[in-house]
Structure 1
């Protein structure tokens, strides 16, 4: 992949750094730290407020909202609904990360409620999560993507049309669609799946990208490409602990246009 200065300066991450949006994340406690640090690495400002009494006020000053159901509980469900509805009222983009939605009926019911009561700008998920939302057969376990024989691209298009949103399906290859336009992104490093929170961080970065003016589809396509590139840069590290640190370094470098 071309690491030229020209490519880096035009990266979507660089545009995020220039805009420095506040991203309100109601996310799971497993990934809060890596999500916050990853947003800071690209010049965005994270806030992790999930108290019901303040989420509407907090989201009103944000550029984007992320709802992540990884550690779903009765307290945060009300906060997610309140924040999402307030974001809709104010025209603030909302991203849904339906972590492990197919694992339990509780998660399935709540995600369906979210999708029926909130207008999402983006659904960022893995293949198994997309299949669960679409109601098609898939072999998955917990939060893992799993395997299936269905055409993921067609399912993504159908879900995008049904919920009038962008859909980004990520994994060893990524696919983004608005129901009509589509783009596939390859590359990356398989060890991204061995580090907790890499997909959740990507969802938060997507929320930052959606806050930018212009073509949201293009912004998301660019973010997915940048994220794959960051994984490849970090892949030079032989050990998983160093790999995790180098992901943050690569995100900062790509967003700042530094020499690699």
Structure 2
């Protein structure tokens, strides 16, 4: 396996597109485990993109906010200009050591259904800019994930930007997760809620959950039940019942199907109440 450090996006794309099976790496916190435990094919070339300035940091744009995929989870966790659900999701990942090394782009492209930034990004209607030697394209977060550990990324493509529109920055949001312990735990279930409130009424709602389907899942039925409801005296039970009908959890080493179905409602209730400010 060859290892190469890229200093520009163009250099990275040239390297990734020049050899089949090449993979980008930044923090490497997921990839290192895969390689050490022999859980996947060894790529012929690893292209280190962590030091590329264009892939780092958070910046304001005319349309909202752009996040560099090489931005560390630790930075995302402490930003005051990002939606609460995304910061809370970032804070739920691993340990301080892992968060200082791992990147948001790595969490996204690893595409684990339990990834703690994935459901917030779906709830926030984020868009992912993908680049290759042949050009760029923009994919909604909701359509980026196609299965466990699978995305629409093609050979030689690189995630170069995560965009969140101004409208999603203006709302209120919250994130909840549960794992087998209070820290450094992989989510058994997670949930993100984004609400736009106007005069105490929910004008728009977006709800997404993780680790209860093959991909982070947007709950459109639950959203529809929230729109038009007043925050005061909000009855969340019909929303939770609808959410339970939309998810498709499985049993695995972390939790049973029944447990996941049960706690999804509890997490959504807490996130809804926080986002609604009640």
TM tier, smaller: under 0.3
TM-score (norm 2): 0.27
Q: Which has the larger radius of gyration?
A: 2
The structure with higher relative contact order (CA 8 Å, sep 6+) is 1
Q: TM-score, normalised by structure 1?
A: 0.28
More strand by share: 2
Structure richer in helix, relative to its length: 1
